[in-house]
């Protein structure tokens, strides 16, 4: 097993010449060319994982300098935990810490850029199930018996459901926790990206290459999550809206649709 240095997704060896995920128009191969790293390489270079509690039920874990640098989220429910958007590195200390937080019911990624070393995480956590959306399964660089394919909707446990909403990738997903307190939390990766203003979101086919989605697709995304109540939304870089987030997403979708329709062309 080896990981791509740019996206940190794991691959079985021998590897292709170029990481297919990075060669795709939604990502990029750096100017310096394709490079690979084993977990030992990363460890020898000083890779670490930081853990930061974000809310009473949510922890953010990051491996600075590894791949895209997403924040992996550990969501704790009374029945067990979800590991979301796994980072491309792991160490014994973090595995022990995660085990101490309770059973991992599932490992899931919002989309293939966030697969990280999900098989490695699963094996370290005693074969925890890995949930991969069927529409994006062809992006898997490493197969494993722990992988379960799903589509449309998947109940991880009572109150915790994955929803396929599409857009960025056909299988782009969100995880919805309905919450003991009724508040609700949406883990969205970049299926729905929280903007730096922390009150609006954006929707794109590619974030690094600034490829937009049409108004019809954004309206479809908004429609699919409309039945969900969530006070908070967390995207993949510690960017979050922490109050009335469901309304913020609907307003942001309407804004996107209006801009691409040309309603504001007089302002440009």
Beta carbon nearer to Zn ion, 21 or 192: 21
> In angstroms, what is the minimal distance from the CB of 119 to Zn ion?
16
* Least CB distance to Zn ion at residue 88 (A): 9
Cis peptide before 14 (omega within 30 of 0): yes
User: Cα 167–4–27 angle (5° rounding)?
Assistant: 30
Smaller CB distance to Zn ion: residue 37 or 257? Answer: 37
Residue number, 28 or 259, with CB nearest to Zn ion: 28
Q: How far is the CB of 138 from Zn ion (least distance, A)?
A: 15
The DSSP bridge partners found for residue 175 are 162, 187
Q: Which of 4, 74, 213, 248 binds Zn ion (CB under 5 A)?
A: 4
Beta-carbon contacts of residue 76 (< 8 Å; ≥ 6 apart) = 57, 58, 59, 101, 102
- Contacts (Cβ under 8 Å, ≥6 apart) of 64: 48, 50
Q: Fill in the DSSP letter of residue 198.
A: S
Q: Which of residues 5-64 bind Zn ion (CB under 5 A)?
A: 6-7, 19, 21-22
109 binds Zn ion (CB under 5 A): no
Q: Is the Cβ of residue 19 or residue 217 nearer to Zn ion in the bound state?
A: 19
Which residues here bind Zn ion, judged by CB under 5 A? Answer: 4, 6-7, 19, 21-22
């Amino acid at each position: 097993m080896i990981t791509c240095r740019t996206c940190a997704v794991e691959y079985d060896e021998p590897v292709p010449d170029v990481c297919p995920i990075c060669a795709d128009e939604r990502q990029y191969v750096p100017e310096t060319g394709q490079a690979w790293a084993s977990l030992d390489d990363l460890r020898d270079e000083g890779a670490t994982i930081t853990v930061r509690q974000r809310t009473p039920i949510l922890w953010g874990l990051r491996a600075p300098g590894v791949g895209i640098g997403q924040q992996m989220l550990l969501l704790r429910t009374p029945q067990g935990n979800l590991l979301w958007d796994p980072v491309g590195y792991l160490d014994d200390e973090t595995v022990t810490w995660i085990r101490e937080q309770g059973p991992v019911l599932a490992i899931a990624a919002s989309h293939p850029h966030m697969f990280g070393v999900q098989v490695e995480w699963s094996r370290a956590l005693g074969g925890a199930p890995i949930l991969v959306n069927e529409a994006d399964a062809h992006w898997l660089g490493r197969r494993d018996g722990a992988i379960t394919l799903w589509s449309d909707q998947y109940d991880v446990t009572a109150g915790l459901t994955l929803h396929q909403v599409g857009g960025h990738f056909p299988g782009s997903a969100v995880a919805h926790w309905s919450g003991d307190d009724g508040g609700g939390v949406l883990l969205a990766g970049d299926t729905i990206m929280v903007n730096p203003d922390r009150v609006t979101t954006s929707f794109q086919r590619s974030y690094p290459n600034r490829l937009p989605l049409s108004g019809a697709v954004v309206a479809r995304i908004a429609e699919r999550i409309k039945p969900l109540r969530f006070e908070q939304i967390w995207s993949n870089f510690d960017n979050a809206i922490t109050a009335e987030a469901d309304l913020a997403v609907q307003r942001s979708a309407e804004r996107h649709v209006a801009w691409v329709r040309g309603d504001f062309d007089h302002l440009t």
